[in-house]
Amino acid sequence: MTLTLGLIFFIYGLVFGSFFNVVGLRVPNDSLFTQKRSYCDVCNRTLTWQELIPVFSFVKQKGKCSTCQSSISLLYPVMELGTALLFLLTYLVYGISWHTLFGLLLISLVMSVTVSDWVYQKIPNKLLIFYTPLVILYRLFFPLAPYWTSVVGAVFAFALVFLIILFSKGGMGVGDLKYYTFFGFVFGFSQFLLLFLLSTIYGTLYGLSMMLLNKATRKSRIPFGPFIGFAALTVYFFGNSIIQWYLNFLL
């Protein structure tokens, strides 16, 4: 039963990963519901259903359009496979529960924002506005202890990142501020501190690796939304374990 359900979560993750790609690419351009079905960005040919099978189509076509032979971005299979693995992880950690549903909700936001910020360096307000009421509703039924720590987390996150923006003169953007504040409410004060630390570590490691490969310099603009998002997922799945390990280490 566990194997079957795990496979179902994985397959649904592949499908939804493809959809989150579309959301991340189209929401910043206000074309999510106005643009035609999926097409090649180069030759504008509408893709057939065989070319829309997550990951498999990319492998079968060797990463190229069947018509014009232009390269297909690795972003597509990476996000599809990544979402599938995250869906599976959600099931393995939380089983079948409301926490699983909330985890899938967070994944959908993180993956959509990751695509958007990676491609356009934008964290769309529309996505945050859509997810905020859902998060508030979830916290009404499953509040943190004490219940007011969500508000404290959001206020602290806003104040901290606002000061960073103020003193770094562009080190972070307003989109990052809103994104951090959103997760401050989700996780509360203590786990937000962990999230902030992890996102900084993830971003720093990525920046250093790009510099070592001569693909970036100290002045290069790096989208930070993906690192915030994946730090949030790390906290959601393993936050309590990480904090407990750290406390045990200190003691």
Say if residue 61's pLDDT is above 60.
yes
How many whole angstroms separate alpha carbon 149 and alpha carbon 142?
A: 13
Sequential DSSP letters for 198-234: HHHHHHHHHHHHHHHTTS--TT-----HHHHHHHHHH
57 Cβ contact partners less than 8 Å away, ≥ 6 residues apart: 50, 51
Domain boundaries, the chain: 1-121, 143-251
Confidence of residue 54 (pLDDT cuts 50, 70, 90): confident
Average per-residue pLDDT in the chain? 88
Q: Say what the pLDDT of residue 131 is.
A: 97
How many whole angstroms separate alpha carbon 163 and alpha carbon 169?
A: 10
Closest residue by Cα to residue 193 from 141, 147, 145, 246: 246
Which tens digit of pLDDT belongs to each residue from 99-125? 999 999 999 999 999 999 999 999 999
Q: What percent of the chain has pLDDT over 90?
A: 62
Structural contact between residues 127 and 27, judged by C-beta atoms closer than 8 angstroms? yes
Structural contact between residues 251 and 139, judged by C-beta atoms closer than 8 angstroms? no
Structure tokens at 230: 């994946």
Neighbouring-strand partners of residue 151 = none
Q: Say what the pLDDT of residue 57 is.
A: 81
Sequential DSSP letters for 108-133: HHHHHHHHHHHHHS---HHHHHHHHH
Q: Say what the pLDDT of residue 155 is.
A: 97
Between 173 and 113, the more confident residue is 113
Which tens digit of pLDDT belongs to each residue from 125-157? 999 999 999 999 999 999 998 889 999 999 999
The arithmetic mean of pLDDT across residues 170-191, rounded, is 92
Say if residue 51's pLDDT is above 70.
no
Which tens digit of pLDDT belongs to each residue from 21-45? 989 988 988 776 666 666 656 566 6
Helices (H) and strands (E) in the chain, counts: 8, 0
Say if residue 91's pLDDT is above 90.
yes
Q: Say what the pLDDT of residue 244 is.
A: 83
Least confident of 9-23, 40-54, 90-104: 40-54
